[in-house]
């Protein structure tokens, strides 16, 4: 199992810290490392000692807060939902590519009009 998908209950955290994270909706190491430090610090029941404990544990595994990591397939709860997310992202890429092509065509069109006007 990838460490990122390791449940918080299996981490080397005090029970109080683990409970506070789980109550706030964090379930795995991945959930914690993609979070911003400010989000973690706002969790009720977590003080500076707990925050330092969390930071030490994620650093032990070679991670830090606010990491740009894709969500695990487990996050999507089903293969179908994961596929839907992939399709959604592919459509966004197509739209972006279409927009870039459109902008290039527009720029060429404007340039040709300027040339004709001179």
Domain boundaries, the chain: 8-61, 71-117
pTM assigned to the model: 0.57
pLDDT surpassing 50 at residue 20: yes
Rounded Cα distance, 80 and 86, in Å = 10
pLDDT surpassing 70 at residue 109: yes
SS3 7: strand
pLDDT tens per residue, range 31-88? 999 889 899 999 999 999 999 999 999 999 888 888 766 555 555 556 666 677 677 7
Strand partners, 7: 28
CATH class entry, domain 8-61: mainly alpha
Phi, psi dihedrals of residue 58, rounded to the nearest 5°:
-70, -30
26 and 32 Cβ atoms separated by less than 8 Å: yes
Nearest to 17 by CA among 38, 3, 32, 5: 32
């Amino acid at each position: 199992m990838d460490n990122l998908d390791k449940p918080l209950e299996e981490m080397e955290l005090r029970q109080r810290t683990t409970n506070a994270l789980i109550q706030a909706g964090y379930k795995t190491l991945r959930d914690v490392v993609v979070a911003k430090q400010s989000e973690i610090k706002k969790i009720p029941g977590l003080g500076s000692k707990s925050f330092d404990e969390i930071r030490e544990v994620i650093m032990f595994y070679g991670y830090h807060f606010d990491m740009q990591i894709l969500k695990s397939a487990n996050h999507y709860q089903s293969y179908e939902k994961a596929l839907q997310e992939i399709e959604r992202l592919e459509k966004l890429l197509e739209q972006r590519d279409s927009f870039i092509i459109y902008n290039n065509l527009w720029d060429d069109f404007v340039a040709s009009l300027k040339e004709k006007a001179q």
